[in-house]
A and B are shown apart, each in its own frame.
Chain A
Amino acid sequence: MIVVNDIHKSFGKVRALRGVSFDAPDGLITGLLGPNGAGKSTTLRVLYTVLKPDRGSATIDGIDVVRDGLAARHRIGALPHGAGLYPHLSARENIAYYATLCGIDKATIDDKVNSIIGLLEISDFADRRTKGFSQGQRIKVALARALVHDPQNVILDEPTNGLDVMATRSLRALILKLKDDGRCILFSSHVMQEVAALCDDICIIANGKVAIDDSADGIRERTGCDDLEDAFVAAIQTVEDD
């Protein structure tokens, strides 16, 4: 369960976040939707504690991300935007490295790594060095790496960027599987259709603010637009004006 409460963040004169609040409950997929530069990545970065908010707070399963970042990180599996792998290590070694850093004890590491390799269906290339992997293969390994310590909360920053249809489909299936496990999934995207197809709850961000936070149907209803894309544009306009 992720709770975000009125976070603000500025980089010099640029006000990236101007009071973002939303909840992402367990067992649901929450989508963070917004145009480029809306503040999606900044919000997620605050959640996985690489950035500190100037104001406001956020909690992961009730743990404050600012006050106890280390404990919060234990409960998060994060896939940052454009996450890179270590090219000289094999996929398996990349995953095992993160598993060890997460403090999984030596006896169970192999089992954990094997099961996540099975879950993400990457056994075909698990023992190859990641140099020269396709974008799809890379995302899968990065995701496996992020999930190896079995986190309750999964944060994905534009995970489908650069993936082909097949890879997107299998990633979507995986996200649904994680949801069925009762995890809290928060993922960002700027692709309307993707969010609509997957998310139970959509939070539209624009200009560092939440424009609307509701289910797909709720958003259609509140904006009075039948087409979700029109609804998206309408919602964004409400915050861009001020």
Chain B
Amino acid sequence: MQTLLTVFSKEVVDNFRDRRTLATALLMGPLLGPMLFAFVINLTIERSLSDIDSTMQLPVIGAEHAPNLIRFLESRNIEVIDGPADRATALDAVKTGVLDIVVLIPVEFGEQLHAGSPARVELISDQANTEAERDARRTRTAIRAYSQQLATLRLVGRGVSPLILQAVTIDEVDVSTPSGRAAILLGMMSYFFIFALLMGGMYLAIDSTAGERERGSLEPLLSLPVTRGQLMLGKIAAACIFMALSLMLSLWSFFIALKFMPLEQLGMTPNFGPIVVIGAFFVLAPFILVGASIMTLVASFTKSYKEAQTWLSVVLIAPTLPILIVSILNVRSQLEFMFIPSLSQHLILVDIIKNEPLNLLHIAISVTSTLTIGAILTWICARLYRREGLLG
């Protein structure tokens, strides 16, 4: 026990003094993830909200042929401006990107409208240009609304109920809760948490095996009157502490990042308060042992620091794969999934964020099975540390 503690505290001090590594472990994973997430979400929300509110400018050719349509558009916050001189210049301007969209109202528009035959309007846009497509969609919707309005008036004028056009109507009943809707978005966060957790201990795991060997400090260490198993356990324990630290940091930094995301505007209320943060920590904590032991295990097979880094970046992705698959397939919590580390933590975390009642059996299975797998991996590590090939 004394050996374990000595190794543990030495590794912790050593890792804390290695500033560059520490910065990567504790800043990159925990802070960059939530910040990036907040940035992307903000951008998405801003863009979708700007659609409705902002005034858009619409170049129109032949506005004088349809004064009513123009007035209708302006009532919808679409400011009509003079378009190019003729159709050919308009096509050219859109093609070269000078203008995003041009509406052309032909001379015969009024005549056709009067005669009750479909009045033609031309909408010139570049559908490959996503930015322009947003404006085009908005214009199209506005013109359709105008057409609908006219059609309704015509029916009424002929003594026919406009309801005749609506053979079937749909009433949508949405049972999702604001926190449930938030879970769709925030569910992906467990991916970040597991990633940050693993990042936190990765360098220590490399350093304690491949790093020590490369530096030549492993052989004298093994010639000391201590058992190798204890050395290994001390190193795994140190990796665990850094993983826990990194997890804690990433949870809190996400908690803070959420404050800067206007999720309410999307009808989402994330259930991610301080209590959830602490709860999430305890749900994810058993995975720390699995992460620390698997990283140490893989690193102990590699010949050099570089090789260890390469292999561990694979390990970094592996536990996040089940989460990714489940997120895409949108699978709900099931008992069988609770036996799988990383996946069970993810599903429980999603339930917490959704504000659903916690299934204690699921939590118990998740904790027990993850800890058992972690203990087995740790045991394998300690066994492997005894083999001669360790010295490389």
Q: How close is A219's CB to chain B, nearest CB, in angstroms? A: 30
Are B18 and A51 in contact, with the CB atoms below 8 A?
Answer: no
Are B219 and A80 in contact, with the CB atoms below 8 A?
Answer: yes
Interface hit among A82-90, A167-175, A205-213: A82-90
Q: How close is A65's CB to chain B, nearest CB, in angstroms? A: 11
Give chain B residues whose Cβ lies under 8 Å from the Cβ of A233. none
Q: Which of A70, A83, A100 contacts B219 (CB 8 A)?
A: A83
Q: Which of A84, A103, A149 contacts B217 (CB 8 A)?
A: A84
Are A89 and B225 in contact, with the CB atoms below 8 A?
Answer: no
Are B3 and A101 in contact, with the CB atoms below 8 A?
Answer: yes
With A86-B14, A100-B6 as known contacts, state yes or no: A78 contacts B223, CB within 8 Å. yes
Give chain A residues whose Cβ lies under 8 Å from the Cβ of B215. 84-87
Give chain A residues whose Cβ lies under 8 Å from the Cβ of B2. 100, 103
A15 to B212, CA, bound (A): 27
Are A83 and B225 in contact, with the CB atoms below 8 A?
Answer: no
- Size of A's binding interface in residues, CB under 8 A: 34
B202-245 residues at the A interface, CB under 8 angstroms: 212, 215-217, 219-227
A145 to B6, CA, bound (A): 15
The interface residues of chain B, by DSSP majority, are classed as helix
With A50-B388, A101-B6 as known contacts, state yes or no: A85 contacts B217, CB within 8 Å. yes
Give chain B residues whose Cβ lies under 8 Å from the Cβ of A142. 220
A70 to B224, CA, bound (A): 8
Q: How close is A158's CB to chain B, nearest CB, in angstroms? A: 13
Are A50 and B217 in contact, with the CB atoms below 8 A?
Answer: no
Give chain B residues whose Cβ lies under 8 Å from the Cβ of A73. 223-226
Q: Which of B220, B224, B388 contacts A52 (CB 8 A)?
A: B388
Q: Which of B17, B212, B223 contacts A50 (CB 8 A)?
A: B223
A53 to B351, CA, bound (A): 57
A78 to B10, CA, bound (A): 21
Give chain A residues whose Cβ lies under 8 Å from the Cβ of B227. 70
Are B388 and A51 in contact, with the CB atoms below 8 A?
Answer: yes
- Size of B's binding interface in residues, CB under 8 A: 24
Are B223 and A88 in contact, with the CB atoms below 8 A?
Answer: no
Give chain B residues whose Cβ lies under 8 Å from the Cβ of A49. 222-223
Asked if A98 is at the interface (CB within 8 A of a chain B CB), the reply is yes
A73 to B227, CA, bound (A): 10
- Nearest chain A residue, comparing its CB with the CB of B391: A50
- Nearest chain B residue, comparing its CB with the CB of A79: B220
Q: Which of B6, B7, B18, B221 contacts A88 (CB 8 A)?
A: B18
Are A102 and B224 in contact, with the CB atoms below 8 A?
Answer: yes
With A51-B388, A84-B216, A88-B14 as known contacts, state yes or no: A101 contacts B7, CB within 8 Å. yes
The digit string for B1-15, where 1 denotes a CB below 8 A from any CB of A, is 011001100100110
Q: How close is A46's CB to chain B, nearest CB, in angstroms? A: 10
Give chain A residues whose Cβ lies under 8 Å from the Cβ of B221. 101
With A78-B220, A86-B217, A145-B220 as known contacts, state yes or no: A103 contacts B17, CB within 8 Å. no
With A97-B10, A101-B3 as known contacts, state yes or no: A80 contacts B225, CB within 8 Å. no
Are A98 and B224 in contact, with the CB atoms below 8 A?
Answer: yes
With A52-B388, A82-B216, A83-B216 as known contacts, state yes or no: A89 contacts B223, CB within 8 Å. no
Give chain A residues whose Cβ lies under 8 Å from the Cβ of B224. 73, 98, 101-102
Q: How close is A7's CB to chain B, nearest CB, in angstroms? A: 14
Q: How close is A150's CB to chain B, nearest CB, in angstroms? A: 12
- Nearest chain A residue, comparing its CB with the CB of B3: A101
Give chain B residues whose Cβ lies under 8 Å from the Cβ of A85. 215, 217
Give chain A residues whose Cβ lies under 8 Å from the Cβ of B13. 88-89, 93
Q: A residues within 8 Å of B by Cβ?
A: 45, 48-52, 70-71, 73-74, 76, 78-80, 82-89, 93, 97-98, 100-103, 129, 142, 145-146, 149
List of 10 A-B pairs having minimum Cβ-Cβ separation, nearest first: A84-B216, A84-B215, A88-B17, A84-B217, A78-B223, A73-B225, A80-B219, A48-B223, A74-B225, A100-B6
Task: Enumerate 19 A-B pairs (CB-CB under 8 Å) in ascending A order.
Answer: A48-B223, A51-B388, A73-B223, A73-B225, A74-B225, A83-B217, A83-B219, A84-B217, A87-B215, A89-B13, A89-B17, A98-B220, A100-B6, A101-B3, A101-B6, A101-B7, A102-B225, A102-B226, A103-B225
